[in-house]
Amino acid sequence: MMLAYMDHAAAAAEPDTIEVAMVADAAECAAARDFGGLVSARPAAVVRPASVDDVASAIQAAALTAHLTVAARGNGHSVAGQAMAEGGLVLDMRAVSRRMPMQLVLLSSGAAFADVPGGALWEEVLHWAVSNHGLAPASWTDYLRLTVGGTLSNGGVSGQSFRYGPQVSNVVELEVVTGDGKCRVCSPSSHPDLFFAVLGGLGQFGVITRARIPLSPAPQTVKWTRVVYASFADYAADAEWLVTRPSESAFDYVEGFAFVHSDDPVNGWPSVPIPGGAHFEPSLLPAGSGPVLYCLEVALYQQAEDVDERMGQMMRPLKYVRGLEFAADVGYVEFLSRVNRVEEEARRTGSWAAPHPWLNIFISARDIADFDRTVLNGMLADGIDGPMLVYPMLKSKWDPNTSVALPEGDIFYLVALLRFCRPYPGGPAVNELVEQNSAIIDACRCNGYDFKIYFPHYRTQSDWAAHFGSKWSRFVDRKARYDPLAILAPGQKIFSRTP
């Protein structure tokens, strides 16, 4: 396989040749940007591989130089340049996924799996699995226009994580091209160290070209409900009770978010009702409610006759504000695609294309009430122009062998500050929001919270060492084993390329 530099038309006529686009203008190059819109790094070239061999060839070619790095780019939905390669090669993983069909794998035991390309969007996996086979993976992200390789390199969480585990716990085999340009198939029983290194490995150890994802019969419909709390203590107690129920009496999905006690269309009450649900009646809120309210969101897949009875049994003990209940029965695919509406609306207002200084934190249940007081009800009491997700998950559902860094506590919350501000000057100045994020992280540190940043981005290796804590030396060893020249994922700024 030759590594050829060619224009698009030539590449289309020669499908067996790697397409490499020389970067003429960073502003025109999607690979120099990401969803965050905060940093930009101009690559030397964008490679559009047509096969796994092409991925290997590109990495081998980079290894022959003294300086080239290689970044796999999923859908570029990082917020701090993690999928960029300044002066290096960016592998467009969407290109290779278009040439690799998804495949159903059926074992004699009856177990079903999907073999999917690393560059496939979860949305594509959903539609393929449900439409063609009536099957579906168990664990999702809220938004599905993310790639399989991108979320498996981080974690992949949503309201299913407490019960089914994050996406990194829902994969049984990976095909990976490591930093030496070799393609390896790994699993918990074959090359397990590589398998677990890559999961949550921030792209440091190899490029995921294929993942084998377990499938189960897809539910037809979903009972989807949101309820409102004025008290964080009640909200957290109910959410933690729900995520620790035995699976036969648990919801399939538990999430939640904080919102502002106002009629602001983005930050306030109007953000709560779901399509087909009731109208928000603020007069039902207890007198003396604080500036921040909470919405618990649950869903039960409709697979059994007694689903209404089960729903009722689980909702009855909850201490939400009676009357502030929003329920709808929706199709399974519609439920999983619910964030697409947010995207459409954000594109309409211009906030999709504006910078996204997002902050995602995993924080122990031990500290979440204090975090609520200090951060949600303090620094963020006016909202953030977007969702403030706050929901618990269980550490037991995460395999400690993966590379993901988690807090110590058995129950920890995802706090996701998903800012969708209008572009400046219509919206706030971005640097003020970045400073606010730093102030939140400082508050977590100063108050001694047990927390880890999800989608971390640090500048110094000592910050990375602190992030990984006791897992750092293993992370460094794995880097030396699988990518000794530090070619891969330079945008994470963890290791420097060795000549």
Ramachandran bin of 323, using left for φ above 0, alpha for ψ from -120 to 50, beta for the remaining angles: left
Residue closer to ligand FAD (CB basis): 271 or 374: 271
Q: Is 402 in the site for ligand FAD (CB under 6 A)?
A: no
Three-state secondary structure of 42-68: CCCEEEECCCHHHHHHHHHHHHCCCCC
Which range, of 78-86, 220-228, 401-409, 458-466, touches ligand FAD by CB under 6 A? 78-86
* Alpha-carbon span 146 to 199, nearest angstrom: 16
Residue closer to ligand FAD (CB basis): 19 or 124: 124
Side-chain half-sphere CA neighbours of 145 within 13 A: 12
Bridge-partner residues for 411, per DSSP? 394
Q: Is 178 in the site for ligand FAD (CB under 6 A)?
A: no
Q: Which parts of 372-447 fold into alpha helices (H)?
A: 430-446
| Residues in Cβ contact with 437 at an 8 Å cutoff, skipping those fewer than 6 apart | 357, 359, 417
Q: Are strands 183-186 and 221-229 parallel, antiparallel or unpaired?
A: unpaired
| Residues in Cβ contact with 408 at an 8 Å cutoff, skipping those fewer than 6 apart | 364, 450
Residue closer to ligand FAD (CB basis): 154 or 225: 154
* CA distances, 437 to each of 84, 156, 282 (Å): 22, 22, 30
| 203, 219, 256, 383: residue in contact with ligand FAD (rule CB under 6 A) | 203
Q: Is 407 in the site for ligand FAD (CB under 6 A)?
A: no
Q: Is 207 in the site for ligand FAD (CB under 6 A)?
A: yes
| Helices and strands in the chain: count of H runs, count of E runs | 15, 18
Which range, of 25-33, 147-155, 231-239, 462-470, touches ligand FAD by CB under 6 A? 147-155
- For this structure, is 483 an active site residue? no
Residue closer to ligand FAD (CB basis): 142 or 234: 142
- For this structure, is 385 an active site residue? no
Three-state secondary structure of 463-494: HHHHHHHHHHHHHHHHHHHHCCCCCECHHHCC
Per-residue binding string, ligand FAD, 2-41, x by CB under 6 A, is --------------------------------xx------
Per-residue binding string, ligand FAD, 432-471, x by CB under 6 A, is ----------------------------------------
* Alpha-carbon span 141 to 123, nearest angstrom: 10
Residue closer to ligand FAD (CB basis): 116 or 315: 116
Per-residue binding string, ligand FAD, 86-125, x by CB under 6 A, is -------x------------------------x-------
Q: Is 159 in the site for ligand FAD (CB under 6 A)?
A: no
Residue closer to ligand FAD (CB basis): 34 or 238: 34
Residue closer to ligand FAD (CB basis): 352 or 472: 352
| 49, 137, 149, 357: residue in contact with ligand FAD (rule CB under 6 A) | 149
Which range, of 65-73, 103-111, 255-263, 434-442, touches ligand FAD by CB under 6 A? 65-73
Residue closer to ligand FAD (CB basis): 72 or 126: 72
Side-chain half-sphere CA neighbours of 245 within 13 A: 19
Write down the least CB distance from residue 170 to ligand FAD, Å: 12
Q: Is 157 in the site for ligand FAD (CB under 6 A)?
A: yes
Write down the least CB distance from residue 341 to ligand FAD, Å: 12
Q: Are strands 89-92 and 70-73 parallel, antiparallel or unpaired?
A: parallel
| 69, 139, 141, 267: residue in contact with ligand FAD (rule CB under 6 A) | 141
Residue positions counted in the chain = 499
43: exposed, middle or buried (Cβ count in 10 Å: 0-12, 13-18, 19+) = buried
| Number of residues near ligand FAD (by CB under 6 A) | 35
286: exposed, middle or buried (Cβ count in 10 Å: 0-12, 13-18, 19+) = exposed
Spot the catalytic one: 19, 77, 173, 238.
Answer: 77
Q: Is 76 in the site for ligand FAD (CB under 6 A)?
A: yes
Extract the tokens encoding 88. Answer: 């290096």
From the list 477, 424, 387, the residue with the least C-alpha distance to 159 is: 387
Spot the catalytic one: 175, 238, 255, 372.
Answer: 255
- For this structure, is 142 an active site residue? yes
Please spell the DSSP secondary structure of 290-331, one letter per residue: -SEEEEEEEEEE--STTHHHHHHHHHTT----TT-EEEEEEE
Which residues would be at the binding site for ligand FAD (CB under 6 A)?
34-35, 71-78, 82-83, 93, 118, 141-143, 146-147, 149-151, 153-158, 202-203, 207-208, 489, 491-492
Catalytic residue list: 77, 142, 255
